[in-house]
Chain A
Amino acid sequence: MTAAVQPLDDSEFPIHRYRTDFPLLGRRVRDKPLIYLDNAATSQKPRQVIDVLDEYYRGYNSNIHRGVHTLSELATEAYEAARKKIQTFINAASHQEIIFVRGTTEGINLVAQSYGRSRLGAGDEIIISEMEHHSNIVPWQLLCEQTGALLKVIPINDAGELDMDEYKNLLGEHTRIVAVGHISNALGTVNPVAEITALAHAAGAVTVIDGAQAAPHTRLDMAALDCDFYAFSGHKLFGPTGIGVLYGKQALLDAMPPYHGGGDMIKMVTFEKTLYNDLPYKFEAGTPYIAGVIGLGAAVDYVNDVDMDSIRDYEHGLLQYATDAAASVPGLKLIGTAAEKAGILSFIMDGIHPHDLGTILDHDGIAIRTGHHCAMPVMERYGIPATARASFAFYNTREEVDKLVTGIDKAKNIFK
C-alpha cells in the first residue's frame, strides 16, 4: 500500500452486493447477526465456490489423469484449468510452477524437505524473522536438526517492522535460504518481500515466502517479486480448506527430488528404477483434493471479478477506519503499528484478558481470534501472553467495526 492508494468506502465498492454472495454472512450467532472478523484464521466462502464443489460431486466426480472415460476427462480438464487460472492469478511464468498442496504449511515443508534437505549441510544458514507463524519456523528447525544448518532470526522493531539493517548483517556467504512471511498474521505488517528477495539473491540465497495472509489482500505477482518459492492456502482466499499452492521457479523445482512418492508422480516404475514424472506432477503424489482445486479455481475467478486492486483499496480504507476507531478507545493498545499493514488489528486491553474479551464479543455475535495466533515468539517480543485480533476481508463493513467498538465498550463496563 503506497500513499497513492485512494481508500474506497462502501459507496464506491458494492459491498452489500458482494455480501449476499456469502450465505454464511447472513446467519445469526447467539441470536445476533454474525459479525465475522476472524478472516485471518479462515475466510467465508461465496456461493460461486460452494456451487462448483456441489456440481463436481453431483456431476462429474472421478479420478484425474487416469481414465479414458468421459467423467475422468471432465475432472482432469477442470483440475488443470484451475491450475492455469492460478498461474495467471499470481503471474507465474508457467503452469508447471504451480504445485497443489494441502496448504501453506505443506508448501513450506515441501521446500524445506525437498530443496533444503538435498542442498543444505552443516554450517549453512537459514534466515527467518521474529514475526513468523509457527509454520514458517518449525519446518526450518526440523531441517536444521537434519542437516546441521543454523537458524538466524531477523528482529522486529516496536512497531512490528523487520529490522532491514540487521537482515543485511545476517546475510552472508553461508546463507542458503531466507524464509519470511509476506504479511504477518499476528501483526498485519506487510513485509518488503521484493527487496528481501533481491538482497537474498545478491548473497546467493533463495527466498521462500509465506503468503498465507497476503493472498486475500493484495495482488500476487511472482514475476515482480522474483521470489524462488511462494506458498498460500485456498481457505484464506475464499476457497476450500485442505488445498493450497506452492509456487516455485521451474529450474529449482526441476532439480529438486520428490517430496512424496506414489501414484501420478511417476512415468514408469520397476523394482530396479523409477522414472519421476515431469512438473508439476512430480510433486503431486496420490489422488489430490480434486474438488478443492476446482473450488480454489472458482475462488480465484471470484476475486478476479471483484478485482484484487479494488479489494486492496477498500480494505486499506477499512483498516484505517478500524485503526482510528481503536485509537479512540481508552485502555486499548495496538500490537503492530507498522507503516505498511493489511487486514489485521491486533490489540490488548488494560485489565481485560483477550479470552474474556473474545467470549464477551461472541455473545454479541462478533467473532474475533484471541490467543498467540501461532506466533509465540511475537508474543514474547511484546511480553504478552496473547492478543485479541480482528481480521478483515473485503466483505466487512465500517458498521461492523462500529459494533466491534461497542462490544469492547461493553466488556470494559463488565470489568470496570
Chain B
Amino acid sequence: MFDIKDLYQEVIVDHNRSPRNFGKLDPAGRTLEGFNPLCGDRLTLYLNLDDDHISDISFDGHGCAISIASASLMTEGIKGKSVQDAGTIFTDFHELLTDSARVIDLAGMGKLAVLAGVREYPSRVKCATLCWHTLRALLAGDHAPVSTE
C-alpha cells in the first residue's frame, strides 16, 4: 500500500527545509513569477543562459513542501543542461505526474523521481509542476506571470 512517506520522502523534506539555489540571481538575464491562485503558492525564477545552456538558475518564494522541493530539485536537475534537454526533462516529469499509462524510466530521471508519489494526489500535481510551467514560459521568453489556473 502507498505510504504517506512515499510522498514525503526524506529528499523532499530535506529540499523543503534547505532548498538549493534559493535566492535572487544578480544579475539575472531573465526572471519570471509563477503563482497558484488556489493555494497562494508563489515563486520567482531567475535564469542566466550561455548560448543555449542554462548556466545558472535560482528561485525564491513561498509554498508547500512539494512546491519548494520541486523547484529546488528542478534547479539542481537542469543547471548546466541545454534548453532542449531541459524541455525533455519537463515532458518526462510532467508525464510522470499526470499520465498514469505512460511507463517512465525512473532511473533516468535522477532525483526528480522522488516526486513520483505526487501522482497519487491529483490535487497536489500543480504544486509540483508550478516551477516547471514557470520555467517553460521563461525559456520561451514570456514576460507575463504564470498562473496554474
A interface residues, Cβ below 8 angstroms from B: 31, 351-356, 359-360, 362-364, 370-372, 379, 385-386, 410, 414-415
Contact = CB atoms under 8 A, between A and B. Distances in A.
Given A415-B13, A415-B65, A359 B40 contact: no
Interface string B61-94: 0111110000000000000000000000000000
Interface in B12-47: 13, 16-17, 38-42
Given A414-B13, A415-B13, A415-B65, A356 B40 contact: no
Given A31-B1, A414-B13, A415-B13, A356 B66 contact: yes
Contacts of A386: 39-40
B127 interface: yes
A414 B5 CA distance: 8
Nearest to B121: A359
Interface residues of B, number: 21
Interface of B: 1, 4-5, 7-8, 13, 16-17, 38-42, 62-66, 121, 124, 127
Contact of B7 (A352, A359, A372, A385): A359
Contact of B64 (A31, A356, A372, A379): A356
A352 B64 CA distance: 8
A360 B8 contact: yes
Given A353-B63, A355-B39, A385-B62, A414 B8 contact: yes
Kindly list the 10 A-B residue pairs having the minimum CB-CB distance in the complex, ordered from nearest. Answer: A385-B40, A353-B64, A355-B64, A363-B4, A356-B65, A414-B8, A356-B64, A386-B40, A360-B4, A371-B39
Give the most central of B13, B39, B42: most A CB within 10 Å. Answer: B39
23 contacts: A353-B65, A355-B66, A355-B124, A356-B8, A359-B7, A359-B121, A359-B124, A362-B121, A364-B4, A370-B39, A371-B38, A379-B40, A385-B40, A385-B41, A385-B62, A386-B39, A410-B4, A414-B5, A414-B13, A415-B8, A415-B13, A415-B17, A415-B65
A81 to B, nearest CB: 40
A415 B17 CA distance: 9
Give the most central of A362, A371, A379, A385: most B CB within 10 Å. Answer: A385
B127 A355 contact: yes
Contacts of A359: 4, 7, 121, 124
A414 B4 contact: yes
A403 B15 CA distance: 29
A360 B66 CA distance: 12
B59 to A, nearest CB: 16
Contacts of B4: 359-360, 363-364, 410, 414
Contacts of B41: 385
Nearest to B65: A356
B105 to A, nearest CB: 26
Nearest to B5: A414
Given A364-B4, A370-B39, 5 more contacts: A359-B4, A385-B41, A386-B40, A415-B13, A415-B65
B40 A371 contact: yes
A353 B1 CA distance: 25
B16 to A, nearest CB: 8
A353 B70 CA distance: 15
Nearest to B40: A385
Contacts of A31: 1
A300 to B, nearest CB: 33
A357 to B, nearest CB: 9
Contacts of A351: 17
A408 B65 CA distance: 16
A263 B63 CA distance: 49
A257 B41 CA distance: 43
A65 to B, nearest CB: 41
Nearest to B6: A363
Contacts of A363: 4, 7
A331 B4 CA distance: 21
Nearest to A370: B39
Nearest to A363: B4
Nearest to A31: B1
Give the most central of B64, B121, B124, B127: most A CB within 10 Å. Answer: B64
